[in-house]
Structure 1
């Protein structure tokens, strides 16, 4: 097989700094209008609607909203509306749908049902003319431009930043606003990790399985990481909360077993570190992404220090660099994963 030297997946990952800068600039008015509405009428609760990578972004949103705003966030199963025909009582709720394409019928139908039922509906989508954007009351565009690779990268990063910008508008006194302004530069620094990712990926070219661990704000990124490793390299990767892994799954860890772990700089950092140290004692081999830590991990992609809420964004970008080069080291084209296509329409 002729090895692809610069796949679209990696090219689009490198666009992340510009995408985030564009989103922050051009979404400011929509975000401010939505924030004013939410301050005037705080939601009873929040529900998200999404699938795939977008659902992993929704998991990140859950942690952000619950830790920063104290708003309880649940996840709607689109099939409740599209397959079972049930209607949830969403009066006074905030319903946020996330979809790169904005085309999946079940997500659109769920948002329409939520709006008809009295919920305030928001779409985070890359397609401003999509059915989803037309259905929701408010739209926060991802501003990612056309995304050609099957594996979402820059659109996923945008879907992490969009809710952060809303939280910054709802809490203007916080340090988050300044952190978002600095984020494009932080992502540019993250792109400088690509040479490290390329050189380290070769180590795992024969890996058949991998576990991804994180806690809190990084957990949605861990879920996304497992998906990307499956999509681009065919590795049987599974994501777990570092808090849950010791409850049984740790049984699979043997000497040399590869674990991709995320280390934060927030309240969960020390607890995660305890878990990672115990895994190293069992002989596991760690791939460390995020904050540096006193671990033996032979592979480290240390992202720039930012804010606890923006650190996961840079960690996701670093993972995409690693995943893309891991696929290349395995002789695979990450732009053409077997049996997959860019837009999946589900009901």
Structure 2
């Protein structure tokens, strides 16, 4: 009897359908949010999230700052829930991201922000959740049930949910076209699964792995480090390719391998130079992303804001197969459960 693939891989492969459904069913909600932001003109944005959702917020931060010139800060949920501070968020747009919408600290911060005069937005998969009820605007992730402990399709959907709003506010037809074509790019990414599996094979005995990235891909690097800990038991950390030489580069002397995310946007050339310098120093470096000539080259999507999505999907295929190479079940990581309720 053939053993079915882990849920992690099965759910990651649903990404093209999830994005298609999200773009179709969220159109009105995205228009309403764009209209409100155009009228209210928030001076800055704040994100509230934990884990994979917080890594999606890192990508969103770069998207909002580079395309709307809107400064973005990450709010520490415990500042309110443990320390009792009620932050002055009047006029801000507060964006909470959560697959379950059930974490009390995220919910409480959104309630506090809305009561204080902020525009509150929830990117959430469970539409009947406490978080969805507390926020003024809701952009559903449209993933359907996600059963694997390691989030995949919900993270990918978190990367795309707010992009139609950015396209509306900027009048960026190129982004709209890239979003329309994104499901096809994700289907093409799925054809790279064998390459991802082969790349994963070389890390089956690794104890440590460093992830490098810049700009819009940095949040993907953060997510990759989390998934390697979560599913493979590998001690992994993410660094900006710009910051790596400021101290962490010392670890190369210990033989720690690197996986670098490439990009085809404004960060592409400088990132490529950094990787070339590392290779010249003898680093054990492989790459993943849309820049041509990398170890695992993902499809370019036609826009900087959508390029990270195939990169993240390809990494999930890599991580799922790496867990299997190591004799592990990525759906049953020790000590972890699907929903973590923090206060």
TM normalised by structure 1 equals 0.96
Gaps of 5+ in 2: none
Please, which of 300, 310, 314 is the counterpart of residue 305 of structure 1? 300
How far apart are 1:278 and its partner, in Å? 1.4
What is residue 316 of structure 2 aligned with on the other side? 320
What is residue 171 of structure 1 aligned with on the other side? 170
Deviations 1:83-137 (A, max 9, x none): 0110111110000000000000000000000000000000000000000000000
Counterpart check, 1:135 vs 2:134: yes
CA separation of 1:246/1:81 partners in 2, compared to 1, >3 Å: closer, same or farther?
same
Gaps of 5+ in 1: none
Partners of 2:49 and 2:97 within 8 A in 1: yes
Deviations 1:138-171 (A, max 9, x none): 0000000000000000000000001212111212
* Secondary structure class of the residue paired with 1:144: coil
Partners of 1:255 and 1:284 within 8 A in 2: no
Structure 1 residues 229-240: aligned runs within 5 Å: 229-240=228-239
Deviations 1:191-249 (A, max 9, x none): 00101111221111000000000000000000000000000000000000001111000
Partners of 2:210 and 2:257 within 8 A in 1: yes
> After the TM superposition, which segments of 4 or more aligned residues of structure 1 sit over 3 Å from their partners?
254-257, 292-295
Partners of 2:102 and 2:341 within 8 A in 1: yes
Counterpart check, 1:338 vs 2:337: no
How far apart are 1:294 and its partner, in Å? 5.5
Structure 1 residues 237-252: aligned runs within 5 Å: 237-252=236-251
* Secondary structure class of the residue paired with 2:202: helix
Structure 1 residues 178-257: aligned runs within 5 Å: 178-254=177-253, 257=256
How far apart are 1:51 and its partner, in Å? 0.2
How far apart are 1:174 and its partner, in Å? 3.6
Deviations 1:282-322 (A, max 9, x none): 22222211124556xxxx22111112111101100000000
Deviations 1:41-72 (A, max 9, x none): 11021000000000000010100000000001
TM normalised by structure 2 equals 0.97
Partners of 1:45 and 1:72 within 8 A in 2: yes
What is residue 63 of structure 2 aligned with on the other side? 64
* Secondary structure class of the residue paired with 2:61: helix
CA separation of 1:4/1:279 partners in 2, compared to 1, >3 Å: closer, same or farther?
farther
Partners of 1:255 and 1:282 within 8 A in 2: no
Partners of 1:4 and 1:333 within 8 A in 2: no
Q: Distance in 1 between matches of 2:79 and 2:110?
A: 12
How far apart are 1:173 and its partner, in Å? 3.6
What is residue 276 of structure 2 aligned with on the other side? 277
Partners of 2:42 and 2:92 within 8 A in 1: yes
CA separation of 1:186/1:111 partners in 2, compared to 1, >3 Å: closer, same or farther?
same
Q: Distance in 1 between matches of 2:118 and 2:149?
A: 32
Q: Distance in 1 between matches of 2:286 and 2:280?
A: 15
* Secondary structure class of the residue paired with 1:267: coil
Superposed CA RMSD in Å reads 1.4
Q: Distance in 1 between matches of 2:186 and 2:67?
A: 23
Partners of 1:27 and 1:140 within 8 A in 2: yes
Partners of 2:30 and 2:162 within 8 A in 1: no
